[in-house]
Amino acid sequence: MKNKLETISNLFEGKEIRSIWDKDKEEYYFSVVDVVGALTNAPIPRNYWSDLKRRLISEGSELHEKIVQLKMKSKKDGKNYLTDTLDMEGIFRLIESVPSPKAEPFKLWLAKLGKEKVDEVFDPSKGIDQMIDFYLKKGYTLEWIEARIKTIIDRKKLTHVWKENGINSEVEYGILTNAIYKEWSGMTASEYKAYKNIRKENLRDNMTDIELALTNLGEITTRDIAKNEKPIGLKENIKVSKRGGSVANDAKKSYENATKQKAISSSNNLDYKYVDDINKIENR
């Protein structure tokens, strides 16, 4: 079953809904606790669900029998735990058991989400179209979007080579990526995000054209060196990643010499401010 499932996350009104897509059944499975949290704003959604589940069992509800436990990543420690999930039909039935003014908006969100995912299965280009539309609505240019899509493809090629060289975990990917960033920008990814005053937002979505190009150059160079030399293990791949980042650093220096302007920018593409940042400004 593992090979058939793809773990994803979706947002409803800013609330994360952990989900799994079963490619064979073409069906979503949703974390019940996350759905309950989105519908009720309960301080401890897990407790709310425990009480509701007991009531459903005592009432002889068939909904309890439809619960499937699947492994999902915990929001607290990032580890995978068995989690109560329901398919879309089950979630619709769950909504009837949870009094909430958000019931109807959530149903509409579910229906739209399901249709989009099924459409993507039969026509993957629809997913790309949606991504392009999303970026356009955010104010990105078509040229930037084209470059961004290319970085996504090149990133996939790089991680494929890393896998061939014995790198398999997301943590190791992060370490190697930081080695590339540090070498050309002088910052790790988290430091770079802090410099741009972003948090959970995607760093590359907040890069300028030249920042995106330099990031891509560092990763392409790393990929090609790793493909030729086939370094095995984290330690050897870090060395290669630094060499790839060094090539991007040389390009950065050439750009800055030619244009007389900095390649690294503190600007971001946020159309909002964090509450604590607003407070800092107001309290100055």
pTM of the model: 0.55
Rounded Cα distance, 225 and 220, in Å: 9
Task: Inform me whether the pLDDT recorded for 222 exceeds 80.
Answer: yes
Mean of the per-residue pLDDT values of the chain:
85
Taking only the tens place, the pLDDT of each residue in 40-79 is 978 899 999 999 999 888 888 888 888 999 988 887 787 8
Counting residues of the chain whose pLDDT is more than 90, the rounded percentage is 44
**Mean pLDDT, to the nearest integer, of 158-179?**
93
The amino acid that residue 203 corresponds to is L
Give the start-to-end residue ranges of the domains of the chain.
2-122, 141-282
Which pLDDT score is estimated for 262?
96
pLDDT in tens, 100-151: 888 888 888 887 777 566 555 445 566 677 788 888 888 888 998 998 889 9
Asked if residue 98 lies in contact with residue 32, where contact means CB atoms within 8 angstroms, the answer is: no
Cα separation of 110 and 85, whole Å?
15
Report which of 116, 108, 110, 94 is spatially closest to residue 40, judged by C-alpha positions. 94
For the cut 80, the answer to whether the pLDDT of residue 270 exceeds it is no
Six-digit token pair at 60? 């002889």
pLDDT of residue 188: 95
* Closest CA relative to residue 26, chosen from 89, 100, 93: 89
